[in-house]
């Protein structure tokens, strides 16, 4: 029996170890090694920090890096602000059937490819698009308005794409908040604002953290939305990775960019977990 | 701010209005994509030139419909193939992972669990390039040693499957673990007492109990694979799955053909999602 358990354990452990080592750990180590080398001549490489030096001194690279970081944080904040009242409405105000229907409605866009969602915004926002025509019809504009290819269009797309990943964890945590706790807050003389600040938001914190982490990751790693909705000046860091790898075939610099993106996302995720005193297992698992 | 606490009428109206606006915002892009699939024009934009089914069934240029467009049909085939492989692989490994974490205590379990969650916090594009880099290192190494060129390790469907599998497995593991945790171990012990072997007990008691979660994980894995863009973009070879094929067309300029494909995608995935929900209700 003891031996049996041992065999079972090994059989169950093998796929996990193979998966994690061959597809996650070793590829990332390899990527790190590639980013640490410099091409001397054809087929001859030297170990150096040259790629990182290049990445950190070239203004375009650095600017794009920080822009991507700040815009992603902004997108996360906006998504949270828009989603919170809706999640609260679904969790606490709506009852029974309405609640289920609203929740399902939030899930629908997730079942549709990101490409389709982005395409929808292109149809809406472009010069010959619906909103431009609507503005002309109402009389607010006397010629076609181009609303595509700028930062705001990109922001609309980013927020839309990740909305679900904020709403769902928020609804889940808010649902677990007992109505009587809120009532008690009012009975003790609290008003709407203080109840929100002292009771509702602290209770929703786990949902806020896990939603924010996922939304931030999705924005940071997004390629489609910045490419399709953003303009010439809204370069995104993922686009630079793609360019180095596929267009320029400069894998060394591309791997460096990849590592910088990974580092940035790890630091922010770690910081958010640290700030709220939670662990990755609690938040994601 | 709950129904039992009286609120002013205007507050309730504004709040309800806000929620309504939110759902309009959610529905708007999808609705326009769907509606313009029926526009009798070369462009998915106003003016409305009249209703047509041509973008679905049209057989002649300039309005070749989805069902006569070879490129799109082939891309759908590729996507289905990739998604099926990813679903089977990731749910199998997800199931074994769930059993491992649920049934065994061993040194390093916490570390492994955190490692298992990591793919969720690695950007998809980084997962893609790391696998691309590693597979070409492997291919080059094999070439140097044995002068063999392993095509499978170059960008192509195998790498796309592996790339998607690398993070979808985490999701499958979480879905199946969640249900396994609710399982009453005494049921299995009863089977053992009645003379079943351990494997028979798992096969006849535990697996049927897990079935809703397994089916759910298969559907989610299939949909995620079908929709995946970032990881696939870095690993794709000459056979492009649907999202990549549509992206290439979208860059060149769009016709309502893309709307028709999108509408079919929406219908397909909502039907699948609905079937899953109904199955789990049962």
Residues of chain B with C-beta less than 8 angstroms from the C-beta of A13: 100
- B141 to A12, A34, B135: CA distances (angstroms): 30, 14, 10
Please judge whether A105 and B118 are an interchain contact, meaning their C-beta atoms are less than 8 angstroms apart. no
**Within chain A, which residues score under 50 in pLDDT?**
none
What pLDDT, on the 0 to 100 scale, is given for residue A284?
66
pLDDT in tens, B123-164: 889 999 999 999 988 888 888 888 877 777 888 899 999 999
Within a domain: residue B137? yes
pLDDT in tens, B194-244: 888 888 888 888 888 888 889 889 988 998 898 889 899 999 888 889 999
Report the distance separating Cα B115 and Cα A285, nearest Å: 12
> CATH no. for residue B151?
1.10.3720.10
Please judge whether A12 and B96 are an interchain contact, meaning their C-beta atoms are less than 8 angstroms apart. yes
Within a domain: residue B42? no
Min Cα separation B273/chain A (Å):
8
Report the distance separating Cα A184 and Cα A181, nearest Å: 5
B51: pLDDT confidence band, cut at 50, 70 and 90?
A: confident
Residues of chain A with C-beta less than 8 angstroms from the C-beta of B273: 107, 111
Q: Give this complex's ipTM.
A: 0.85
Min Cα separation A59/chain B (Å):
22
B254: pLDDT confidence band, cut at 50, 70 and 90?
A: confident
The position carrying tokens 């309009």 is: B24
Beta carbons within 8 Å of B15's beta carbon, 6+ residues apart: A85, A89, A93
Contact of A77 with A155, CB cutoff 8 Å: no
Within a domain: residue B147? yes
Find residue B64's DSSP bridge partners: B59
Report the distance separating Cα B23 and Cα B255, nearest Å: 27
Q: Which CATH class is domain A50-284?
A: mainly alpha
Domain count, chain B: 1
Within a domain: residue B263? no
């Amino acid at each position: 029996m003891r031996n049996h358990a041992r065999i079972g354990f090994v059989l169950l452990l093998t796929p996990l170890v193979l998966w994690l080592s061959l597809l996650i750990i070793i590829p990332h180590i390899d990527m790190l090694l590639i980013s640490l080398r410099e091409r001397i001549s054809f087929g001859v490489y030297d170990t150096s920090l040259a790629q990182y030096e290049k990445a950190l001194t070239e203004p375009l690279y650095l600017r794009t890096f920080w822009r991507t970081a700040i815009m992603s944080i902004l997108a996360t904040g906006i998504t949270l602000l828009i989603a919170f009242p809706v999640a609260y409405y679904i969790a606490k105000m709506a009852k029974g059937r309405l609640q289920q229907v609203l929740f399902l409605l939030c899930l629908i866009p997730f079942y549709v490819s990101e490409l389709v969602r982005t395409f929808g915004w292109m149809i809406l926002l472009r010069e010959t698009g619906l909103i431009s025509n609507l503005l002309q019809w109402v009389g607010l504009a006397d010629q076609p308005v181009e609303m595509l290819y700028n930062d705001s269009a990109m922001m609309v797309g980013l927020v839309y794409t990740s909305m679900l990943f904020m709403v769902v964890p928020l609804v889940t945590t808010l649902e677990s908040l007992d109505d009587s706790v809120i009532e008690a807050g009012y009975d003790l003389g609290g008003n709407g604002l203080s109840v929100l600040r002292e009771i509702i938001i602290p209770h929703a914190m786990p949902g806020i953290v896990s939603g924010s982490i996922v939304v931030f990751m999705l924005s940071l790693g997004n390629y489609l939305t910045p490419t399709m909705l953003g303009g010439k000046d809204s370069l995104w860091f993922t686009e630079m990775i793609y360019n180095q790898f596929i267009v320029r075939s400069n894998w060394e610099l591309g791997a460096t960019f990849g590592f910088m993106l990974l580092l940035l996302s790890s630091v922010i995720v770690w910081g958010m977990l640290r700030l709220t005193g939670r662990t990755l297992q609690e938040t994601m698992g | 701010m709950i129904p039992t606490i009286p609120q002013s009428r205007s507050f309730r109206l504004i709040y309800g209005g806000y929620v309504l606006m939110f759902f309009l915002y959610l529905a708007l892009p999808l609705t326009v994509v769907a509606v313009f699939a029926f526009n009798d024009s070369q462009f998915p934009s106003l003016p409305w030139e009249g209703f047509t089914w041509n973008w679905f069934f049209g057989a002649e240029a300039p309005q070749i419909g989805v069902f006569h467009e070879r490129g799109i049909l082939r891309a759908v085939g590729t996507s289905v193939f990739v998604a099926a492989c990813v679903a089977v692989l990731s749910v199998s490994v997800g199931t074994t992972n769930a059993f491992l974490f649920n049934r065994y205590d061993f040194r390093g379990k916490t570390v492994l669990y955190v490692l298992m969650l990591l793919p969720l916090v690695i950007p998809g594009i980084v997962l893609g390039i790391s696998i691309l880099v590693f597979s070409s290192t492997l291919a080059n190494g094999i070439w140097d040693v044995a002068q063999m060129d392993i095509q499978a390790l170059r960008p192509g469907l195998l790498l796309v499957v592996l790339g998607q599998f690398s993070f979808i497995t985490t999701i499958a593991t979480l879905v199946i673990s969640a249900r396994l945790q609710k399982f009453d171990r005494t049921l299995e012990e009863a089977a053992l007492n009645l003379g079943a072997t351990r494997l028979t007990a798992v096969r006849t008691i535990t697996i049927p109990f897990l079935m809703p979660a397994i089916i759910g994980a298969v559907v989610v894995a299939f949909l995620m694979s079908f929709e995946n863009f970032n990881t696939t973009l870095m690993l794709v070879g000459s056979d492009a799955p649907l999202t990549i094929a549509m992206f290439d067309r979208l860059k060149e300029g769009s016709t309502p053909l893309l709307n028709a494909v999108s509408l079919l995608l929406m219908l397909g995935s909502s039907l699948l999602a609905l079937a899953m929900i109904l199955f789990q209700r049962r």
